[in-house]
Amino acid sequence: MSENINACSLQAHKDKEKDGPWPAPRIDEELADKLAAERGVRERPNETLNEIDERGVFVRQPNAFITPFGEKEGEFKAEANRFKIFWAHGCHWSNRPVIVRDILGLEDVIDELATSGIGKYGHGFTDQPNYEDPSTGAVFLSEFYENARPGFSGRATTPTLVDVKEKKAVNNDYHRLTNYIEVQFRKFQKTDIDLYPKAYRKEIDEFNDWLFPTINNAHYRMHFCLSWVAYDEAYQDFFEALDKIDERLATNRFLFGDYVTDADVRLYVTLVRWETYYYHNVGPLKKRIAEFPNIWGYVKDLFAIPQFKKYTFFEFPKNRFKGNRGWNGSFLERIASQVPWDELWKTDGERAKLSEDPDEVFLHTDISPEEYQSEISVSKWNSPSWDDRQPRNVSISVDPSINPLKGLLHNRKA
């Protein structure tokens, strides 16, 4: 490692101490180029050049690593201290697996590290000594992709689950990653919390598959699209979906009733990011999240749960533009930084009365890890066909305004 790199790394650590653990320091372009050249890393491909159809619609690249965790031949086997989740503060997709990991008490089993941008090369680790992930020595997230699939030409994204022994990407399937953690790592759980009740996985999967295009991916559909038609479709889908969810939450504390499930983790992370940041990118809004009475109470109810709060980064917009003297950075530092987030997001506890078990937010299940197993279906959104991944081409038959599990989730001890 050159002296230049060590000097910058030291400075990065000083900055980190001064500013708190986040945001990670930026490194200059020259250094990024040098590090990339040393490791044979190429620039990240641009989604607005490669992932747009003839109507201007943003159609995402399929997730590259979707081999399931399971018991069958060729599937990955859950193991303690072998896997690490790479995630990013501003990335709601990747806030999900770390929230789930913490809720289930898997902190000593699956490691994690937040990435930081390394210019045009995508995710890196600029706040780590020598810019290296301490467990593998990688400087760029894309190194794990290259190790697993030489010549990989897509974007290396968060979340990525990496096998730290082999230094290879194992899974970046945000549709199913939390489900693998919930089911296949159950034998290592420190708690008996159940986010993915075995009897109701079909209903949860169907809801999650509806949530993906309408809510989770809606921001990206609006942000990356290259036509009005595409923008408008995404805009309509998003606000119609919020109306339906608001209706559902009028009589349900959480999406499936009295207890938090995997679907709530997926909805929460996107709502938080919308309310605090994404709206900057997408133009005029019909309504803010805070204007949906039930959804607003719901996100605050979830924010009161420590594992959700821990991965809620209100400071993200302000820190993202820190030191940026352009109008945007300066506005965020002057004004957005004054928002008393914790005060605004304090719950009044009103939603607990919708539950028959108001003091408990999690379902506890004592079935054995073996019994808890089930095959996890591949998401239709992972289809290799471009047409199948079109948000408008997939018909999903759920009515999201109705909770199909009303009154069906019961706690072991209740």
Ligand X SMILES: N[C@@H](CCC(=O)N[C@@H](CS)C(=O)NCC(=O)O)C(=O)O
Binding site for ligand X (CB under 6 A): 44, 60-61, 63, 88, 91, 93, 122, 155, 157-158, 172, 174
Which residue, 108, 104, 62, 103, is CA-closest to 83?
A: 108
Smallest distance from ligand X to CB 131, Å: 17
Smallest distance from ligand X to CB 63, Å: 5
Smallest distance from ligand X to CB 197, Å: 26
H/E run at residue 171: strand 168-171
| CB of 189 or CB of 216, closer to ligand X | 216
Smallest distance from ligand X to CB 337, Å: 23
Smallest distance from ligand X to CB 411, Å: 33
For the chain, the straight-line distance linking the first and the last C-alpha, in angstroms and rounded, comes to: 59
In whole angstroms, what is the distance from residue 97 CA to residue 86 CA?
A: 10
| CB of 96 or CB of 248, closer to ligand X | 96
| CB of 175 or CB of 351, closer to ligand X | 175
| Dihedral of the alpha carbons of 20, 22, 28, 32, in degrees to the nearest 10 | 130
- Helices within 26-176 (DSSP H only): 29-39, 47-50, 92-103, 142-148
Smallest distance from ligand X to CB 155, Å: 4
Smallest distance from ligand X to CB 88, Å: 6
In whole angstroms, what is the distance from residue 163 CA to residue 169 CA?
A: 6
| CB of 216 or CB of 365, closer to ligand X | 216
Which residue, 114, 118, 107, 67, is CA-closest to 83?
A: 107
DSSP 109-146: TSEEEE-EE-GGG-EE-TTSGGG--TTT--SBTHHHHH
198 SS3 class = helix
Smallest distance from ligand X to CB 26, Å: 16
Contact 182, 195 (CB under 8 A): yes
List the Cα angle 247/252/257 in 5-degree steps: 135
In whole angstroms, what is the distance from residue 305 CA to residue 259 CA?
A: 12
| CB of 60 or CB of 253, closer to ligand X | 60
66 SS3 class = coil
| CB of 155 or CB of 320, closer to ligand X | 155
| CB of 89 or CB of 351, closer to ligand X | 89
| CB of 144 or CB of 296, closer to ligand X | 144
Q: Which two tokens stand for residue 156?
A: 């290396």
